[in-house]
Amino acid sequence: MNVQIEQSWKVQLQQEFEKPYFQRLTDGVRQEYGKTTCYPPGRFIFNAFNLCPFEKVKVVIIGQDPYHEPGQAHGLSFSVQDGVPFPPSLQNIFKEIHDDLGSPIPQSGNLTRWAEQGVLLLNATLTVRAHLANSHASLGWQTFTDAAIHALATQRDHIVYMLWGGFARGKAYMIDKSRNLVLESVHPSPLSANRGGWFGQHQFSRCNAYLLQNGIEPIQW
């Protein structure tokens, strides 16, 4: 199957494209997009991979599935397109970056600037039906995105994995903590963050310190 995805990821994930589940997944996604409104737009489904080649990944941030309201999702976890108001989780991410690093709150919630520096902003499920969170969770995306995480975990060292909330933290078993940095916390959603365990964790400065210790250019958050 000729999947339109960045070449280094195509090499890494080629075996997945040949498996029966991926054909079923592709068929299911096409049916969903054909009969109802889904997000992100088709050209953005593999955006996280396309903007962050395999060998350039420095940080992995795992989300659950795309935002499901108009104009928000563009294939990067927690990110929204230019001009879209910041969802509550993203507001809390920016607030923590400000408190941790002193960086000003940005004007745009478009995190393409992170992806281009080596932050893989990966949703476990890459598509969603409009207005229905987790509506594509059963299509098979998680098998595919787990394969991507496994490829990084087995072939790359000194990556920072930022696992926010129970869903993302459930991926920690794939990662060798002796060769990588795993930062776990509650989810930045106000439902979790306001109860403690999100603010004041200094994850972004800890991430950059680890990268610097390993001779890797830090992220301009």
Q: CA triplet 221, 172, 41: central angle to 5 degrees?
A: 55
- Annotated catalytic residue 65: yes
- Which of these is catalytic: 65, 99, 100, 146? 65
**Cα(34)–Cα(25) distance, integer angstroms:** 14
- Token representation of residue 158: 């000194």
Helix ranges (DSSP H) in the chain:
7-17, 20-35, 47-51, 88-101, 112-115, 141-155, 165-169, 190-193, 203-213
Q: What residues act catalytically?
A: 65
